[in-house]
Structure 1
Amino acid sequence: MPRETPSHAPGGEPSRPIRSWVRSSPGTHVWLAVIAITSLCIALSPDGLDHYLLHRNSSNLYELSRHPMQALLGSAFWIENPASLLLYAVLFEVFHAPVERWLGTVKWLVVVATAHIAATLISQKVVLEAIQDHDVPRSMAHVVDIGVSYGLAASVGILTYRLPRPWRWFYLAGAVAFFAVPLVTNHTYTDLGHAISLLIGLAFWPLTRHVPDKPVVHAGASDPH
């Protein structure tokens, strides 16, 4: 009599939906893993070295003028406070992962990379003009400017088109308010970058056309090989 092969290994069932989710959004989780590594470097670095690493990988005016490509790329993989890593992990799962799974890795990467680069360059151009007009001190050219949140704002924007009406409009109103209120009240260059990134995400609406819906990973779903 043939032996019956169990459909799931004992104790392995809970890991399958998690593994499926991670494999369906590889770019998000590779990015998050790199941020976890750089955050660990900051947390374990002696006094002085952590500040050097953050400044060296910032996309501020000073670093952009010396090595622009490294500054733009490097700033996307660091966060200033390692204690906020858990918060970023949640935000990556809530916004980046669904967008990547919906649009595909290439389109998702186009959206977040465009937002990160454009928002950084535009906001730093405004800083340069403010320095030249003597509206802000020249030390603004050396501030820590790491742009992980710019890509997040772009994913928040484009995710609008994933939601059905009328919930789409409530979500959009909340997103606009979340980024517009700090820009109006605080007038910081980071808030400007966030607002620009949100608009860039919204402007990528053409990428969302004719994208087929993909099934949601369920708790009992099998993990394809």
Structure 2
Amino acid sequence: MDTSWRSRLTSLLLAVWSYIRSAPGTYVWLAVLFVTTVVMHHVSPSQLDDLLGERSTNLHNLSEDPVRALIRSALWISGGGWLFYAFLYTVFHATAERWLGTLRWLTVVLIGHVVATYISEGVLLWAIRHGRAPETSVDTLDVGVSYGLAVVEAVLTYFLVFRWRFFYGFCVLGFYGLALVHGRTFTDVGHFTAVLLGFACYPLTRGRPGHLDPAAVFSRAVRRISRDG
């Protein structure tokens, strides 16, 4: 490897490390998810069901020890591979944490995770009591990080310059709204609730510096490619 390529590689690695350090909460969370994902791939299906059942934010666990259930459920991925979530965390969570700061970002995530969980499980409880869902639904598996991701996707609406906010916000609302209309499960309710909560987190975004203009970013990228080419 010649000196120029070594220099470029070093610069790239330093840039990646700098980006990771700028969003510590996001990447510590991802590191934990990596460990738990490895664990999931090294247990039998029956053991996995028991493992996730103990960490589920279902009605049974929320009634027994809600704080423990809420924390543990956010440390496991219920579907999709870790690399997929690493991509989503880098695009959404890391961007939000760098913009809002770790404390405000974490506040948004907790609002989405906790409130959306209780509302979705409340809908499920209503369904059980009115005969629309079986009694066994109190132990329905509900683990994962998707409510926290949905709330952050929504709050990033305010990271964009004004003329892009309505388009992006409409896309986020439409994506989860269509899932709710077609799926109509308690998790669909939770995701849609998390999006609404993200929009409601506007006060936490006030005073934060900088707003992204996608058109300007695209234009700069095109100019740079043309210049380098």
| Same fold flag (TM > 0.5) | yes
* Secondary structure class of the residue paired with 1:195: helix
Structure 2 residue 176 is the aligned partner of structure 1 residue 179: yes
The one-letter amino acid of 1:163's match is: L
Partner residue of 1:133? 130
The one-letter amino acid of 1:167's match is: W
Partner residue of 1:94? 91
Alignment size in residue pairs: 208
CA contact (8 A) 2:161 2:211 kept: no
Tell me the alpha carbon deviations over residues 85-120 of structure 1, each in whole angstroms, 9 at most, x when there is no partner.
121111111110000000000000000011100000
Q: CA deviation at 1:63?
A: 1.2
Tell me, in whole angstroms, the C-alpha distance in 1 between the residues paired with 2:154 and 2:62. Answer: 26
Partner residue of 2:43? 45
Bigger fraction of residues in helix: 2
* Secondary structure class of the residue paired with 1:146: coil
Q: CA deviation at 1:171?
A: 0.6
Structure 1, unaligned runs of 5 or more = 1-8, 217-225
Percent identity of equivalent pairs = 42
> Which protein has greater RCO, CA pairs closer than 8 Å, 6+ apart?
1
Structure 2, unaligned runs of 5 or more = 1-5, 218-229
Moved over 4 A (4+): none
Q: CA deviation at 1:42?
A: 0.6
- The 1:77/1:122 distance shift into structure 2, 3 A limit, reads same
Tell me, in whole angstroms, the C-alpha distance in 2 between the residues paired with 1:18 and 1:128. Answer: 45
Q: What TM-score, normalized to structure 1?
A: 0.88
What's the C-alpha RMSD, in Å, of the aligned pairs?
1.9
Q: What TM-score, normalized to structure 2?
A: 0.86
Tell me, in whole angstroms, the C-alpha distance in 1 between the residues paired with 2:49 and 2:151. Answer: 28
Tell me, in whole angstroms, the C-alpha distance in 2 between the residues paired with 1:79 and 1:53. Answer: 12
